[in-house]
Structure 1
Amino acid sequence: MTPLPFWGGVEVLRARFVTQRFSKHSHEGYALGCIEDGAMRFRYRGESVVAPRGQVNLVVPGEPHDGHGADESGWAYRMFYLDPGALLEAAGGLMRRPGMPHFRAGVLDDPQLAAWVDMTHRALSSPDVSSMEKETRLLWLLTHWISRHADERGEWPKRSNEHGAVNRAREIIRARFGEDLPLGELAREAGLSPFHLVRVFEKQLGMTPHGYLTQTRVERAREQLSGNGRLADIAAACGFSDQAHLTRLFKRQTGLTPGKYRKMLQNS
Structure 2
Amino acid sequence: MPDDAQPISPGPAATACRLPLCPDALALYASYRNHRFSRHAHEGYALGVIEAGALAFRYRGSRLVAPAGAVNLVQPGVPHDGEPAGDDGWRYRMLYLPAALLSMVLPDGAPLPHFRPGVIEDPLLAARVADTHRLLMDAAASQLARETALLALLALWTGRHADDRPASPPVGPEPRAVRLVLDLLAARFAENLSLHDLAREAGLSPWHLSRVVARHTGLSPHAHQRECRLRAARRALAGPDRLADIAAMAGFADQSHLTRAFAARFGLSPGAYRKIVQNTSALPG
Q: TM > 0.5 between the two?
A: yes
Match of 1:68 in 2: 83
Q: Does the Cα contact within 8 Å between 1:11 and 1:80 map onto a contact in 2?
A: yes
2:239 to 214, 227, 249: 227
182-191 or 40-49, which deviates more: 182-191
Match of 1:251 in 2: 263
2:70 counterpart residue number: 55
Match of 1:39 among 45, 54, 61: 54
SS at match of 2:141: coil
Count of residues in Structure 1 that have an aligned counterpart in Structure 2: 265
* 2:146 alignment partner, one of 134, 148, 151: 134
Q: Which residue of 2 aligns with 1:19?
A: 34
- Cα drift, residue 7 of structure 1: 2.0
CA apart distance, 1:166: 0.5
Quick one: distance in 2 between partners of 1:264 and 1:233? 20
Q: Is the 8 A contact 2:199 2:209 kept in 1?
A: yes
Question: Offset of 1:118 from its aligned partner?
Answer: 0.5
Q: Distance in 1 between matches of 2:255 and 2:86?
A: 45
Following superposition of structure 1 onto structure 2, how do residues 187-206 of structure 1 map, counting pairs within 5 Å? 187-206=199-218
- List aligned pairs for 1:1-268, cutoff 5 A: 1-92=16-107, 98-268=110-280
Letter in 2 for 1:179: E
Residues 164-193 of structure 1: per-residue CA shift (max 9 Å, x gap):
001000011111111111112212221111
Identity of aligned residues (%): 50
The TM-score normalised by the length of structure 1 is 0.95
Deviations 1:139-198 (A, max 9, x none): 000011011111112334332111100100001111111111111221222111122112
Superposed displacement of residue 55, structure 1: 0.7
5+ residue gaps, structure 1, are none
Q: How does the TM-score come out when normalised to structure 2?
A: 0.89
CA contact (8 A) 2:17 2:26 kept: yes
Tell whether the 8 Å contact from 2:106 to 2:169 is kept in structure 1 after alignment: no
